[in-house]
């Protein structure tokens, strides 16, 4: 079964960049699925950030597109999120997940990691 | 795009059936049969329970069912159980993006 685990550096200061990595286990990241990021501010709902495929093709939430970069590292079987110019509104639990493409659901999820933006 | 609209809360007694609505527009739910539903218990990651409007992944209870009419999708939980108390989110494909609903808290009385 596919397993995903988010990792990141911890608190981020306002105006800096947030960087997270998702390590994929028990499944090759090159096996043709998409890999995505979803976030959830404390006490609020889910928000899709974007998804990337094995070739590096990405599609993004239009509201975040200008600040988001997704990348994939097939040699390490992991994919990454970079969100620039963060504010307190970017404080959230960030989840990585897998899906089969733009029309497909997120079938496997990581446990999530809380990222706090604070000075 | 705006988030899909869900009721903030729905409640029911054990054994009853409840239905959660998810209202979009003619450009999202109304245009595609790519609606999925997720169950989220406190402190846990969401879990996929319905995809493509009315399909259940392997291992998901048959008490969960989905449907769609026009711009509104629905999730029905039959034979409500204590373990069904959780937050539920709908999601729809919209022109190469994915839109979530605001979430519905289900309380088992």
Read off the pLDDT of residues A69-90 as tens digits, 9 standing for 90 and up. Answer: 999 999 999 999 999 999 999 9
Q: Which residues of A touch B (CB under 8 A)?
A: 36, 38, 45-48, 51, 59-62, 95, 102-107, 109-112
The answer to whether A36 touches A98, Cβ cutoff 8 Å, is: yes
Rounded CA separation A63/A61 (Å): 5
| pLDDT cut 70: percent of chain B above it | 99
Query: In the β-sheet with B72-77, what is the strand arrangement from edge to edge?
Result: B18-23, B72-77, B64-69
First to last CA, chain B: 35
| pLDDT cut 90: percent of chain B above it | 92
Burial (CB count <10 Å: 0-12, 13-18, 19+), residue B60: middle
Q: Indicate whether A32 pLDDT > 80.
A: no
Q: What is the mean pLDDT of residues A5-31?
A: 93
**B71 Cβ neighbours under 8 A, 6+ residues apart:** B23, B24, B25, B26, B28, B29, B30
Predicted confidence band of residue B3 (pLDDT cuts 50, 70, 90) = confident
Please provide the average confidence, as pLDDT, over all residues in chain A. Answer: 94
Three-class SS of residue B83? helix
Select from A46, A58, A70 the residue whose CB has the most chain B CBs within 10 Å, as the one to mutate to test that interface: A46
Contacts of A107 in chain B (CB under 8 A): 48, 51, 57
Predicted confidence band of residue B1 (pLDDT cuts 50, 70, 90) = low
């Amino acid at each position: 079964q596919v397993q995903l685990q988010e990792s990141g550096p911890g608190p981020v200061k306002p105006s800096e960049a947030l960087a997270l990595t998702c390590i994929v286990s028990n499944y090759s990241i090159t096996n043709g699925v998409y890999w995505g990021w979803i976030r959830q501010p404390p006490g609020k709902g889910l928000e899709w950030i974007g998804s990337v495929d094995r070739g590096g093709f990405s599609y993004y939430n239009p509201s975040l597109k200008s600040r988001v970069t997704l990348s994939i590292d097939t040699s390490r079987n992991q994919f990454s999120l970079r969100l620039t110019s963060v504010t307190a509104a970017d404080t959230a639990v960030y989840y990585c997940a897998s899906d089969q493409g733009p029309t497909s659901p997120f079938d496997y999820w990581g446990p999530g990691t809380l990222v706090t933006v604070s000075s | 795009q705006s988030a899909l609209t869900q009721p903030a809360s729905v409640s029911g007694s054990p054994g009853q059936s409840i239905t959660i609505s998810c209202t979009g527009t003619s450009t999202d739910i109304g245009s595609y049969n790519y609606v999925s539903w997720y169950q989220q218990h406190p402190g846990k990651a969401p879990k996929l329970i319905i995809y493509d409007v009315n399909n259940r992944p392997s291992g998901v209870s048959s008490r969960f069912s989905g449907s769609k009419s026009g711009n509104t999708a629905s999730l029905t939980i039959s034979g409500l159980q204590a373990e069904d108390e959780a937050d539920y989110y709908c999601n729809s494909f919209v022109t190469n993006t994915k839109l979530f609903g605001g979430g519905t808290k289900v309380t088992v009385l």
